[in-house]
Amino acid sequence: MKKTIAVLPGDGIGPEVTDAAVQVLQSIAMRYGHTFHLKHALIGGSAVDAHNNPLPDETIAACEASDAILLGAVGGSKWDQNPGHLRPEKGLLNIRKHFDLFANIRPLKAIPALLGSSPLKEEVAKEVDMVIVRELTSGLYFGEPKRRTEKAGVDTLVYTRDEIERIVDQAFEIARGRRGKVTSVDKANVLETSKLWREVVEERKAFYPDVEVEHMLVDSAAMKLITDPRAFDVMVTENMFGDILSDEASVITGSLGMLPSASVRSDGFGLYEPVHGSAPDIAGQNKANPSAAILSAAMMLRYSFGMHTEAAAIEEAVMSVLEDGYCTGDLSDAGKQVVSTERFVTKVVEELERE
Amino acid sequence: MKKTIAVLPGDGIGPEVTDAAVQVLQSIAMRYGHTFHLKHALIGGSAVDAHNNPLPDETIAACEASDAILLGAVGGSKWDQNPGHLRPEKGLLNIRKHFDLFANIRPLKAIPALLGSSPLKEEVAKEVDMVIVRELTSGLYFGEPKRRTEKAGVDTLVYTRDEIERIVDQAFEIARGRRGKVTSVDKANVLETSKLWREVVEERKAFYPDVEVEHMLVDSAAMKLITDPRAFDVMVTENMFGDILSDEASVITGSLGMLPSASVRSDGFGLYEPVHGSAPDIAGQNKANPSAAILSAAMMLRYSFGMHTEAAAIEEAVMSVLEDGYCTGDLSDAGKQVVSTERFVTKVVEELERE
Ligand SMILES: CC(C)[C@H](C(=O)O)[C@@H](O)C(=O)O
Ligand SMILES: CC(C)[C@H](C(=O)O)[C@@H](O)C(=O)O
């Protein structure tokens, strides 16, 4: 297959980790006879520096001419005092909205070798295996009115039935390919949008008789993610709750530096990026953990290109390198040999060539 | 002193645990020469059953004629299918709003004897000692418009400068009596209300030069509560974020059954209740942990009545009973002798009489 990939390295460690992912993609291309054409473009703080715009038109054009987007990370204190429209994260919000990437998908699986880095007791965190599906283009993030006066501020939480249906369907589909359980998280005892949300989940479940559904209030979900995370298979929720709960979930297994994410729409087009941030403090030091970016590239192969074998090969290669006892500095607790970003990638590529 | 206390037992284990707290209050009254006049009234599901109203007028009148309110817990699956205005929690929302109880205060302190029940590793959870201050009468919970149509739902997040100022001041005052650090949690990179919130915190901090202030995004706070909870002294945040983060925080030390809360306004009037819920599954079985209700009564003595010695005596008595090796079933992990609710209270009262 021939595919075009827009590569948006972004800020901080973004360039290092996307470089790593690109090396892995090239190795896959060679081995499986694909051609990946790469279009590099700017986003976030580096785009603000170059073009005074966190999502320049050229970047949008590059993405529009591509089959999928691979992103590093955006942000850094350098741009923290900028006005809203010149802040790095505005690039992220805009690209999600522009491409209608309504479904943010974050798989989370405990890696036995890394449980030592988890803040949770090993018996609580072990065997966690869940996916969080977060609505990404509506709710409090985008609802109008959204404004400030001298004396008050207002944001608006709006959801339409259609917006809820498509994200809920996405969660049901994912659950079908897994353990068949969906936990829908809302605040239906307080919010009107949550009452609608719950109603839509109840309606849609008729179309997925093979999937078990439970409703959970967001405050209970925040507790249960810590006390009993294994209870979850697929969690689906609205944008703001998803922001909070997915970040909470990202630290429970101690492997934040390993977590990939996908932000997709229904036709298979999507943006793939690590869950971790731009970590400006270690940028350019050849120290960053490239695993999350590499595993994001694997998600891209699977979801956007239908390359299941290739995706699985990447995932196995990363796990093998960890099992062989190599890791980057963020996982040094795990009692392994700490290696540089580049050396870790080389190991992954060697593993791919051996398989 | 003579004080009148409105006692609202509520549902599930509410009656058992408020009874326990009342026994402790009577013991304090005897010993310190106070008179506590009690006015019992209905709230929540039991009020719906009796009066078709989760917050009957008689209950409001009883509270208005009192110096403070002691509440058990509300809710239960029996009322889960009721329309919104006949649900138990509506009683809670209404009483907060009616009495303008804008500041929800939840202290959280690791108890060494109970760390075994924590889902977190002991070295992460030990020495946690923080207070969460949550705005309770504004934001998404009460903002208008708040409505449903067939095709969409809308809730409104509004904050005025005055509403933010008073809760932020409350947090600064509390921090002054502690380690002097306030972490203000918002989502200023996305929400207009959060930008105003951050601005107000920056303005108010000029009046508290002795207090250190940091701003944290809500998603980061959800992570940090798990990875490094000791980093917090006083956390202050808006209503919806506070609902999620305070419940998340409530499970990190393994002592949910021990946690009290206060919901107060500026003149000292307040409502005191356990953080835990109504636990219908164990209601009426003499099994519930009464500690949270007892410690809520202690908070009442301190905040609403200025009885600092008496409050400290209660807190010490509860800790002594735990240290002596007694606990209720919820804490059985801790390797102690499990006793009934009544027996636990008797122990606490004996301890108070011995002191
Ligand atoms: C940077 C920020 C706007 C963004 C969000 O809140 O969605 C981030 O936290 C995320 O979760 O991708
Ligand atoms: C019962 C519910 C309405 C309430 C809230 O969300 O405020 C509860 O969760 C709480 O935190 O006291």
Q: What is the pLDDT of residues B24-54, one digit of tens each?
A: 999 999 999 999 999 999 999 999 999 999 9
**End-to-end Cα spacing for chain A:** 21
- pLDDT tens for B341-352 read 999 999 999 999
Tell whether residue A279 is among the known ligand binding residues: yes
Residue A138, beta-bridge partner list: none
- pLDDT tens for A240-280 read 999 999 999 999 999 899 999 999 999 999 999 999 999 99
| Chain B residue numbers touching A154 (CB-CB < 8 A) | 143, 156-158, 192-193
**For the domain A1-109+258-355, what is the CATH code?**
3.40.718.10
CA of A249 to the centre of ligand 1 (A): 14
The protein residue with its alpha carbon nearest to ligand 2, atom 3, reads: B89
Tell which residue, A223, A244, A334, has the closest CA to residue B118: A223
DSSP 3-state assignment of B314? helix
Would you say A140 and A155 are in contact if contact means Cβ atoms under 8 Å apart?
A: yes
Beta-carbon separation of A218 and B193 below 8 A: no
Mutation test residue for ligand 1: of A89, A132, A237, the one with most atoms within 8 Å of CB: A89
Would you say A313 and A28 are in contact if contact means Cβ atoms under 8 Å apart?
A: yes
For the Cβ of B316 lying below 6 angstroms from any atom of ligand 2, the answer is: no
Kindly state the tokens that stand for B251. 């499970």
Q: Which of A94, A120, A142, A330 to mutate to test the interface with B (most CBs of B within 10 A)?
A: A120
Q: Where in chain B is the domain with CATH 3.40.50.2300?
A: 129-251
Residue B355 pLDDT level (bands cut at 50, 70, 90): confident
| Chain A residue numbers touching B251 (CB-CB < 8 A) | 223, 226-227
Residue A157, beta-bridge partner list: B155
pLDDT at residue A335 greater than cutoff 80: no
| Chain B residue numbers touching A165 (CB-CB < 8 A) | none
Tell which residue, A46, A25, A24, has the closest CA to residue A36: A25
The protein residue with its alpha carbon nearest to ligand 1, atom 2, reads: A89
Query: Catalytic positions of B, please?
Result: 141, 187, 219, 243, 247
The protein residue with its alpha carbon nearest to ligand 2, atom 5, reads: B243
The amino acid present at A332, given as its one-letter code, is S
Identify which ligand lies nearest to the alpha carbon of B240: 2
Q: Which of A189, A199, A216, A275 to mutate to test the interface with B (most CBs of B within 10 A)?
A: A189
Q: What distance in Å separates the CA atoms of residue A217 and residue B226, rounded to the nearest whole number?
A: 20
Residue A80 pLDDT level (bands cut at 50, 70, 90): confident
Counting residues of chain A whose pLDDT is more than 90, the rounded percentage is 95
Residue A189 Cα: closest atom of ligand 2: 3
Residue A340 pLDDT level (bands cut at 50, 70, 90): very high
Q: What distance in Å separates the CA atoms of residue A284 and residue A46, rounded to the nearest whole number?
A: 14
Counting residues of chain B whose pLDDT is more than 70, the rounded percentage is 99
Would you say B21 and B40 are in contact if contact means Cβ atoms under 8 Å apart?
A: no
The amino acid present at B215, given as its one-letter code, is H
Q: What distance in Å separates the CA atoms of residue B291 and residue B273, rounded to the nearest whole number?
A: 11
Other CB atoms closer than 10 Å to residue A355's CB: what's the count?
12
Q: Which of A322-336, B86-100, B223-237 has the lowest mean pLDDT?
A: A322-336
Tell which residue, A7, A11, A8, A6, has the closest CA to residue A277: A11
CA of B260 to the centre of ligand 2 (A): 14
pLDDT score recorded for residue A300:
98
Q: What is the rounded average pLDDT of the residues A131-160? A: 97
Q: Where in chain B is the domain with CATH 3.40.718.10?
A: 1-105+256-355
Residue A334 pLDDT level (bands cut at 50, 70, 90): low
Q: What is the rounded average pLDDT of the residues B273-280? A: 96
Q: Residue B82, Cα to own-chain centre: how many angstroms?
A: 25
- pLDDT tens for A152-207 read 999 999 999 999 999 999 999 999 999 999 999 999 999 999 999 999 999 999 99
**For the domain B1-105+256-355, what is the CATH code?**
3.40.718.10
Distance from CA of B182 to the nearest CA of A (A): 20
Which residue bears the tokens 């019992």? B40
Which residue bears the tokens 């000692």? B129
For the Cβ of B248 lying below 6 angstroms from any atom of ligand 2, the answer is: no
Q: Where in chain A is the domain with CATH 3.40.718.10?
A: 1-109+258-355
Kindly state the tokens that stand for A162. 């259609």
Domain A129-251, what fold? Rossmann fold (3.40.50)
Mutation test residue for ligand 1: of A93, A96, A135, the one with most atoms within 8 Å of CB: A93
DSSP 3-state assignment of B79? helix
The protein residue with its alpha carbon nearest to ligand 2, atom 10, reads: B243
Kindly state the tokens that stand for B110. 């690791």
The amino acid present at A195, given as its one-letter code, is K
pLDDT at residue B334 greater than cutoff 70: no
Residue A355 pLDDT level (bands cut at 50, 70, 90): confident
Buried b (16+ CB within 10 A) or exposed e, B134-171: bbbbbbbbbbeebeeeeebbbbbbbbbbebbebbbbbb
**Rounded to the nearest 5 degrees, what angle is found at the Cα of A165, between the Cα atoms of A160 and A166?**
105
Q: What distance in Å separates the CA atoms of residue A174 and residue B322, rounded to the nearest whole number?
A: 46
pLDDT score recorded for residue A331:
87
Kindly state the tokens that stand for A152. 């008050």
Q: Which of A33-42, A333-342, B81-90 has the lowest mean pLDDT?
A: A333-342
Q: What distance in Å separates the CA atoms of residue B257 and residue B296, rounded to the nearest whole number?
A: 12
pLDDT score recorded for residue B80:
87
pLDDT score recorded for residue B113:
85
Estimate the crossing angle of helix B308-323 against helix B14-32, to 10 degrees: 120
Residue B213, beta-bridge partner list: B182
Q: What is the rounded average pLDDT of the residues A307-322? A: 97
Residue A113 pLDDT level (bands cut at 50, 70, 90): confident
pLDDT score recorded for residue B336:
81
Element spanning A70, H or E: strand A68-73
Residue A351 pLDDT level (bands cut at 50, 70, 90): very high
Instruction: Please state whether the peptide bond connecting residue A145 to the residue before it is cis, i.e. omega within 30 degrees of 0.
Output: yes
Instruction: Please state whether the peptide bond connecting residue B145 to the residue before it is cis, i.e. omega within 30 degrees of 0.
Output: yes
Q: What distance in Å separates the CA atoms of residue B261 and residue B299, rounded to the nearest whole number?
A: 8
- For B69, what's the count of Cα atoms within 13 Å in the CB-facing half-sphere? 31
Tell which residue, B155, B52, B115, has the closest CA to residue A191: B155
**End-to-end Cα spacing for chain B:** 21
